[in-house]
Amino acid sequence: MGGPDAGTVCGMQRISAVADSLVGLCRRTGLTVRGLVALTAAVFTTAGAAVAMAVTSEDVIGHNGMATDDPQWLRFVTDHRTGWLLHLARAVTAVGAVGVLGVLAIVAAVVLWLRGARLALAIAPAVALAVAGACAAVGKQLVGRSRPPLGMRLVSDSEASFPSGHTTDSTALFVALALVLAVVVLRSPRMRALIVTGAVALAGAVGASRLELGAHWPTDVIAGYALGLAVAVAITTVAVLVNRVAPPPSLEGSHRRLSRVRMVLCAQRHPTILNATA
């Protein structure tokens, strides 16, 4: 019998390399089995959200798939408007404005820092907001999609429609903030699940408000959810890993600079974080 072919050997080598990388990461970060499971879930969540964003983008750019159903779904929403829903939508959409989110991000960073969170984790929600906003702005310029017709719109936004900036920004900030709170403040699994669920629901409400006001097509909002979620999980995961990875043994050249950056990101106001026991 012949030995394994070159493709099989190459695949086995890749699997071995990935396994070695995971083992090395666990050693450097001190990840437990539970931590490794959480990291794996974060990677799959980020990848899934990125795929959803890519699929939605392809449909919008190609004018096919989900994008072909946008007019009828938005018409269904606008045809069922009520007074109280419109008032609620205007209030919720105001929460998703970039100015409001920016203030919330700064306040959250200061409070987390004062509570003793390391800098990387304290600023993670603000970084997620900034990165998501930049990605959404680039997407708007690249796709250049028009807003829904004026007859459906109750807002005067004039920039490109895809993806929804309100949805992207609010999803990125609220999810990232909830994840950071779950990591550094809360200890009860029930409270962790509650805070993350609440963040997702609030972001969902912001996206729904954009449809209620006729400001976006449904696929704009779907893409905003996917993009904001991918950025939030990715930035938070990186912040957690930076917080845990040991400094490089060598302090020469680039290693010295990396060590200094890590020292800044891992700085904290108090030596101990005040964790909630609820």
The CATH code of the domain that includes 111 is: 1.20.144
- What is 249-273 written as a DSSP string? S--STHHHHHHHHHHHHT--SSSS-
Tokens of 43: 């990677």
Burial bucket for residue 116 (CB in 10 Å: 0-12, 13-18, 19+)? middle
Task: Kindly state whether residue 232 falls inside one of the protein's structural domains.
Answer: yes
pLDDT of residue 243: 75
Q: Are 207 and 201 in contact (CB under 8 A)?
A: no
- DSSP states of 143-211: H-PPPPPTTT-SS---S--SS-HHHHHHHHHHHHHHHHHHHHTB--HHHHHHHHHHHHHHHHHHHHHHH
For residue 276, list its beta bridge partners. 186
In a domain, 16, yes or no: no
* Distance separating alpha carbons of residues 32 and 141, to the nearest angstrom: 43
Which amino acid, one-letter code, is at 154?
A: L
Is residue 277, in this structure, part of any structural domain at all?
Answer: no
In a domain, 257, yes or no: yes
Total domains in the chain come to 1
Could you tell me if residue 152 is inside a domain? yes
**Inside any domain, residue 22:** no
pLDDT at 119 (0 to 100)? 87
**What is the reported pLDDT for 89?**
95
Q: CB burial class (10 A; 0-12, 13-18, 19+) of residue 123?
A: buried
What is the rounded CA–CA span in Å between residue 98 and residue 132? Answer: 11
Among 148, 167, 164, smallest CA distance to 156 is for 148
Q: For residues 232 and 196, what is the distance between their CA atoms, to the nearest angstrom?
A: 12
3-state secondary structure of 236: helix
Structure tokens at 7: 């493709």
Amino acid of residue 48: G
**Backbone φ, ψ for residue 123 (5° rounding):** -95, -5
Q: Report the DSSP beta bridge partners of residue 186.
A: 276
- In 214-253, alpha helices (H): 218-244
Per-residue pLDDT of the chain in tens (278 residues, 90 and over written 9): 454 555 555 656 666 665 556 565 555 555 566 777 888 889 999 999 999 999 999 999 999 999 999 999 999 999 999 999 999 999 999 999 999 999 999 999 999 988 888 888 999 999 999 999 999 999 999 999 999 998 888 888 888 999 999 999 999 999 999 999 998 888 888 999 999 999 999 999 999 999 999 999 999 999 999 999 999 999 999 998 887 764 555 444 545 555 555 555 555 555 544 454 44
Q: Is residue 77 part of a domain?
A: yes
Asked whether the beta carbons of 252 and 144 are under 8 A apart, the reply is: no
Residue 60 falls inside a structural domain: yes
Structural domain range at position 260: 33-265
Residue 178 token pair: 């909830």
266 contacts 118 by C-beta, under 8 angstroms: yes
